[in-house]
Amino acid sequence: MSLLTILEFPDPRLRTKAQPVTEFDSALSSLIDDMIETMYQAQGIGLAATQVNVHQRLLVIDVSENHDTPQVFINPTFTIVDEELNDYDEGCLSVPGFYETVSRPRKIHVTAQDRNGETFELEAEGILATCIQHEIDHLDGKLFVDYLSNLKRQRIRSKLEKEHRKSA
Ligand code: GNR
Ligand code: NI
C-alpha cells in the first residue's frame, strides 16, 4: 500500500468533476486500499478520490469510534429523506486548519456500489449523512468553503496560499 498526496485549496484540480467508475478490477481495489490508508494517516473521517487527484466517483469514510470500520462508496447518489437541516462544524483535509459550520439535510438515502460492483443502499443520518454529502460534493468539484461568505472563503484562500508559498 502507499500513501497518496492530498490536494489543498485553492488547487484548481479540486474543481474537476469526477467520472463514473466502470472497471471493478484489482487496480480499483489497490486505489481503495491506498485511499483508506491515506485517510487514516491524515486522521480524517472521509476521503474522496478527487482529493488525491483521481477523478473517478469513489469515496471512503470511517465514522466509527475505533477507526476500524472503513466504508467504501463507488458511484454514490443520494436522495433527501428529511429536509430538516443539521448544522455541523466541518473541516476538510484539503482545507487544513479551518473549521466552519455548514447546514445540510440531516437524513439521506444513499445508493452506491462496493468494490465488487455490487449495489447497496443505506439510510444515513448524523455525522455519516454530513460526511457522505461532503464527499459527494468533492466528486462534483465542490468544497465546504463554497457554502461560506465570499469574505470568509477569500480569507481562507489567502492564508493557505501564504502557507503554500512558505513551504514551496
Ligand atoms: O476529516 C474530516 N472531517 C469532517 C468533519 C466534519 C464534516 C466533514 C468532514 S470530512 C473530513 C475529511 C475530508 O476532507 N473529506 O473530504
Ligand atoms: Ni473534504
- pTM listed for this prediction: 0.98
Residue 152 above 80 pLDDT? yes
Element holding 50 (H helix, E strand): none
State the Cα–Cα distance between residues 135 and 76, nearest whole angstrom: 10
Residue in 5, 71, 90, 145 to alter for ligand 1 test, most ligand atoms within 8 A of Cβ: 90
State the Cα–Cα distance between residues 32 and 74, nearest whole angstrom: 10
Q: How far is the CA of 168 from the centre of ligand 1 (A)?
A: 25
Q: Does the annotation count 135 as an active-site position?
A: yes
Confidence of residue 54 (pLDDT cuts 50, 70, 90): very high
Residue nearest atom 4 of ligand 1, based on CA coordinates: 91
Does 139 sit in the ligand 1 pocket, CB within 6 Å?
no
CA 95, 162, 16, 26 dihedral sign is negative
Confidence of residue 150 (pLDDT cuts 50, 70, 90): very high
| Per-residue pLDDT reduced to its tens digit, 78-105 | 999 998 999 999 999 999 999 999 999 9
Q: What is the pLDDT of residue 126?
A: 95
Phi-psi region of 53 (alpha: psi -120 to 50; beta: other; left: phi over 0): left
